[in-house]
Amino acid sequence: MIIITRASITDAELDAIRERIEQRGMRTHLSRGVERTIIGCIGDESLLAELPLRSMPGVEDVVPVLKPYKLASREFAAAPSVVRVGDDPSRPGRVAAFGGPAIAIIAGPCSVEGPDMLRETAEAVRDAGGVMLRGGAFKPRTSPYAFQGLGATALKMLADVRRTTGMPVVTEVMDPRQIDDVAEHADMLQVGARNMQNFSLLSELGRVKRPVLLKRGLSATIKELLMAAEYIMAQGNRDVVLCERGIRTFEVATRNTLDVAALDGFRELMRRLAPFAAAAGRSLGASADGARAGAAA
């Protein structure tokens, strides 16, 4: 349920409406836009059935949110959202914005293999106009015998490169036990395609104060992706960027099929018109070399 308020609403009126809702044991979320302010109600909507919300001062309209992904739906927000990565006063450096007027390019190696390689790549990415560096520390490999990533060592290298280049970094977190360590070193936490529906991982990420880059599962529908985002957002972390990285189709000449239409789907369905990204490397990378150059635009 969302409550759309009149532009002239006062803070005291907003407080009074929220108090009435919270009295029923629900929570409220305020979204202030230029033209309108929206109160989002989170919880069991049947609790609001007898409340005369529509007649309360300052209320313009009361609209049920029919979509199962409430927080992720566009209806819940007053304005398109921008997710800012690296916006942490304790960490000097640049800020990358997703969902704003500019296209944010993330690039970097599939996995971090050493300090020199990472620094050179980072400088190349920065000079080419990229705003963020990616690099895998923990790698989800199809084979348990393939290189699994440098782990904690790679996290430190990523943090070092962030300090020298000022570019925020994103890296994948595969397991809830890695979250604290990754959040300490990286500016954004990535959920890989294979973990898109790892719901305990998603819930834990909802409690973190870092933006999350959520990649679409190999065979996930757009709705399933949005429900995965909802898991993170329901725990309090509203900074989720969706990433289309190619899905599994009958075509085998390219490793994955980049579902370009999905980007428009996100736009249509998603909260706040929002931040989304497309990973090119996965779809182009049939060869080992191509797969190393995972890039997101």
Q: Is 44 in the site for other proteins (CB under 8 A)?
A: no
Q: Please report, in angstroms and rounded to a whole number, the separation of the first and last CA atoms in the chain.
A: 34
Q: Is 70 in the site for other proteins (CB under 8 A)?
A: no
Q: Is 57 in the site for other proteins (CB under 8 A)?
A: no
| Minimum distance, C-beta of residue 17 to other proteins, in the bound complex (Å) | 10
Tokens for 96? 């990358």
Q: Could you tell me the CA-to-CA distances from 296 to 9, 80, 276 in Å, in that order?
A: 41, 21, 10
Q: Is 260 in the site for other proteins (CB under 8 A)?
A: no
Alpha helices per DSSP H over the chain? 11-22, 115-127, 152-165, 179-185, 199-205, 222-234, 260-269, 280-284, 288-292
Q: Is 25 in the site for other proteins (CB under 8 A)?
A: yes
How far apart CA 58 and CA 10 sit, in angstroms, is 8
How far apart CA 78 and CA 48 sit, in angstroms, is 21
Q: Which is nearer to other proteins, 22 or 180 (CB)?
A: 22
Q: Are 186 and 167 in contact (CB under 8 A)?
A: no
| Minimum distance, C-beta of residue 25 to other proteins, in the bound complex (Å) | 4
Q: Is 22 in the site for other proteins (CB under 8 A)?
A: yes
Q: Which is nearer to other proteins, 13 or 259 (CB)?
A: 13
Q: Which of 6, 20, 126, 292 binds other proteins (CB under 8 A)?
A: 20
The SS3 of residue 193 is helix
Q: Which of 8, 11, 66, 252 binds other proteins (CB under 8 A)?
A: 11
Instruction: Determine the interface stretch with other proteins among 16-24, 133-141, 147-155, 156-164 (rule: CB under 8 A).
Output: 16-24
How far apart CA 213 and CA 191 sit, in angstroms, is 6
Q: Which of 2, 5, 18, 245 binds other proteins (CB under 8 A)?
A: 18
Q: Shortest CA distance to 85 belongs to which of 190, 157, 147, 168?
A: 168
Q: Is 13 in the site for other proteins (CB under 8 A)?
A: no
Q: Which of 4, 6, 13, 24 binds other proteins (CB under 8 A)?
A: 24
| Minimum distance, C-beta of residue 100 to other proteins, in the bound complex (Å) | 22
Tokens for 124? 């190349």
Instruction: Determine the interface stretch with other proteins among 24-32, 86-94, 133-141, 175-183 (rule: CB under 8 A).
Output: 24-32
Residue type, 123: E
Which residues bind to other proteins, rule: CB under 8 A?
11-12, 15-16, 18-25, 27, 30
